[in-house]
């Protein structure tokens, strides 16, 4: 059985190679403000567009409505970003996974950092989340955990502790192996390990970390 996925498209850096992941017939697509413009430019029709639309503009929103796309308008002054509201709508669909495109890049690092923080909020809601970019995939994982990596997707993996310490880390198939070791928040030892085999595994016993996969 295929996984039930919801894609949220934000207004950051996204191109056609990122959009190649989604399939409108089986995935639900929610565009957050400027993300609706990104979808439109790529020929992708979202099922839902949300936001205050200060980026997209009124004429564009009117065109979306003419195309029969569901619109949810938000006030400009609000307590959460358009992207978080879109994720909130995504959670209502009870998916197996929420994948956010356009969450990285752009001129607003505060939004990028906030989007990374949404991974923990999604976990608290009981939904697995992922930020996807053609050069990076970012996930939050809580121990005890085992994760499989495939080299043809991404060649480099960084482990960034979110808790003070991530304990009992063991890796297989990496250039720099770890054997029941610990990584500590604020230090950089877990950055840029490289897959030495076509498939690699990571296990750890306790703690919470960001897994950042990179092509280069």
To 10 degrees, the CA torsion angle through 167, 154, 9, 54?
90
List C-alpha distances in Å: 143 to 67, 138, 151, 194: 45, 16, 23, 22
Yes or no: say if 71 and 31 are a contact pair by the CB < 8 Å rule: no
H/E stretch holding 193 reads strand 193-194
Task: Write the pLDDT tens digit of every residue in 154-206.
Answer: 999 999 999 999 999 999 999 999 999 999 999 999 999 999 999 999 999 99
- Dihedrals phi, psi of 65, to nearest 5 degrees: -65, -40
Q: What pLDDT shows up at residue 68?
A: 87
Question: What whole-number distance in Å separates Cα of residue 128 and Cα of residue 113?
Answer: 18
Yes or no: say if 173 and 153 are a contact pair by the CB < 8 Å rule: no
Question: What residue has token string 């993996």?
Answer: 157
Question: What whole-number distance in Å separates Cα of residue 2 and Cα of residue 66?
Answer: 32
Yes or no: say if 80 and 39 are a contact pair by the CB < 8 Å rule: no
Report if pTM > 0.85.
yes
Of the given ranges (13-17, 59-63, 123-127, 191-195), which has the lowest mean pLDDT? 59-63
Task: Write the pLDDT tens digit of every residue in 77-128.
Answer: 889 999 999 999 999 999 999 999 999 987 889 999 999 999 999 999 999 9
Q: Mind listing the domains of the chain with CATH numbers?
A: 5-134 (3.40.50.10240), 140-214 (2.60.120.320)
List C-alpha distances in Å: 126 to 1, 3, 6, 8, 178: 20, 15, 14, 17, 29
Q: What pLDDT shows up at residue 205?
A: 97
Question: What whole-number distance in Å separates Cα of residue 177 and Cα of residue 157?
Answer: 12
- Dihedrals phi, psi of 12, to nearest 5 degrees: -85, -150
Question: What whole-number distance in Å separates Cα of residue 39 and Cα of residue 30?
Answer: 10
């Amino acid at each position: 059985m295929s996984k039930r996925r919801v894609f949220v498209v934000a207004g950051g850096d996204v191109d056609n190679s990122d959009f190649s992941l989604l399939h409108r017939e089986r995935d639900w697509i929610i565009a957050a403000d400027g993300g609706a413009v990104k979808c439109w430019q790529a020929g992708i029709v979202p099922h839902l567009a949300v936001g205050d639309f200060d980026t997209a503009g009124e004429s564009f929103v009117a065109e979306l409505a003419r195309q029969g796309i569901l619109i949810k308008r938000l006030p400009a002054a609000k307590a959460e970003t358009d992207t978080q509201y879109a994720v909130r709508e995504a959670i209502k669909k009870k998916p197996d996974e929420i994948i956010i495109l356009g969450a990285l890049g752009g001129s607003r690092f505060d939004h990028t950092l906030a989007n990374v923080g949404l991974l923990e909020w999604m976990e608290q809601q009981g939904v697995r989340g992922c930020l996807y970019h053609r050069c990076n995939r970012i996930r939050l994982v809580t121990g005890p955990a085992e994760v499989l990596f495939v080299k043809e997707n991404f060649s480099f993996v960084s482990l960034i502790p979110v808790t003070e310490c991530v304990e009992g880390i063991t890796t297989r198939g990496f250039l720099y192996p770890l054997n029941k070791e610990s990584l500590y928040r604020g230090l950089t030892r877990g950055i840029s390990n490289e897959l030495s085999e076509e498939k690699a595994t990571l296990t750890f016993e306790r703690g919470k970390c960001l897994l950042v996969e990179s092509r280069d």
